[in-house]
Amino acid sequence: MPEGKPAGVPCIQLTADLRCALFGRPDRPAFCRGLQASAEMCGDNREQALAWLNRLEEQTRPDCAPARCQAQ
Predicted confidence (pLDDT) per residue in 33-42, tens digit: 888 889 999 9
Task: DSSP letter for 9, please.
Answer: S
Note the pTM of the prediction, 2 decimals: 0.64
Neighbouring C-beta atoms of residue 41, cutoff 10 Å: 13
Average per-residue pLDDT for the chain: 83
If pLDDT is split at 50, 70 and 90, which confidence band does 8 have?
A: confident
The residue type of 25 is: R
- pLDDT at position 71 is 52
Contact in structure between 8 and 57 (CB atoms under 8 Å): yes
